[in-house]
Amino acid sequence: MEGDDRARAMALFATVAKEGSFSAAGRILGLTPSAISRAIDRIEARLGVRLLLRSTRALSLTAEGQAYLQAARRILADLDDAEQQIADQGAPRGRLRVSAALSHGRLCVVPLLGEFAARYPHILIDIALTDTLVDVAGGQADVAIRFGPLADSTLTARRLGESGRVIVASPDYLARHGTPQVPEDLHAHNCLNFNFRRVEPVWPFRRDGQDFALSVHGGIEANNGETLGQLAAIGVGIARVGHFSVASDIAEGRLMPILDAYNPGDIEQIHAVFVGGAGVPARVRAFVDFLAERMR
């Protein structure tokens, strides 16, 4: 029973870390705060290290506590997944709520869903494409696909890939207005921008190993790269967008990359985020594993 005792101890510790107090964890686990405290003491005694720093107001994790929590969550998730797959006879099932950004979801996630549905016929995929940040921890989605740096949170993140940025224009636009040879040439062009709130629209560049930003201006702004790419493809102007949003236009000749020699190489990481720990449903793990496999 030693393995089972350790699993229970890990689950207890993970609950304490999540709730932030012995009393809150005790209410969930049906134990008194003193029983929770004694259980933590036994774990620390067995490991020979301090996992929690305790004060009258709050609990905080030591470095060893953080490492133990990560290991505990991984082990408990593996145990839960193994039991779930056996219970489901190896077939994950149920409703899977997925949130993805509008452009990336339409271009990169939705085309994969048919393959996933064929592989897991017992999972009902419920996908919402929105540029609004959904609250995964609050239960608004089971999995969300996020771009860029991740805010500190209790969510588990799985890296799916990355996307660079590219400056593009249509052959027709370049034939009419000329092809910029250096970034400063953009001052004479209609540069299509995102409408995100900022002091001034700037595009980053690198010349001779030095990074710099250039103010650009144009007649149209939009809230997503797919729209800007479409506008550039019909000859309205020049856009700087995520490569994924214009990859097909570039491949088919509707858009041409320009000023590549000055690309600063800025990359956005793409992650799937979900609530980790012992209760990760098999359908969530299956979907995240599938995305990691297919999107790399």
- The boundaries of the domain holding residue 113 are 94-155+269-295
Same domain, 215 and 282: no
Same domain, 78 and 110: no
Q: pLDDT exceeding 90 applies to what percent of the chain?
A: 61
Neighbouring residues of 270: CB distance < 8 A, sequence distance ≥ 6? 104, 145, 146, 147, 159, 160, 161, 162, 163, 295
Is the model's pLDDT at 7 over the cut of 70? yes
Same domain, 188 and 147: no
Same domain, 52 and 183: no
Q: What is the pLDDT of residue 1?
A: 39
More confidently predicted of 21 and 81: 21
Same domain, 278 and 148: yes
Q: Note the pTM of the prediction, 2 decimals.
A: 0.58
Same domain, 125 and 45: no
**Based on the structure, what is the number of domains in the chain?**
3
User: What kind and span of H or E run contains 205?
Assistant: strand 202-207
Q: What is the pLDDT of residue 186?
A: 96
Among residues 291, 255, 250, the alpha carbon closest in space to that of 125 is found at 291
Supply the DSSP symbol for 68. H
Give the mean pLDDT of 63-78: 91
CATH number at residue 31: 1.10.10.10
Alpha helices in the chain (DSSP H): 2-19, 22-29, 33-47, 63-87, 102-104, 110-119, 171-177, 225-233, 243-251, 282-295
Same domain, 263 and 137: no
Among residues 12, 79, 83, 90, the alpha carbon closest in space to that of 52 is found at 12
Tokens encoding 26: 């005790």
Tokens encoding 46: 């067995």
Q: What is the pLDDT of residue 117?
A: 95
Per-residue pLDDT tens over the stretch 197-251? 655 678 999 999 999 999 999 999 998 888 999 999 999 999 999 998 899 999 9
Contact 43, 58 (CB under 8 A): no
Contact 22, 33 (CB under 8 A): yes
CATH number at residue 109: 3.40.190.10
Residue ending a domain, among 29, 53, 87, is 87
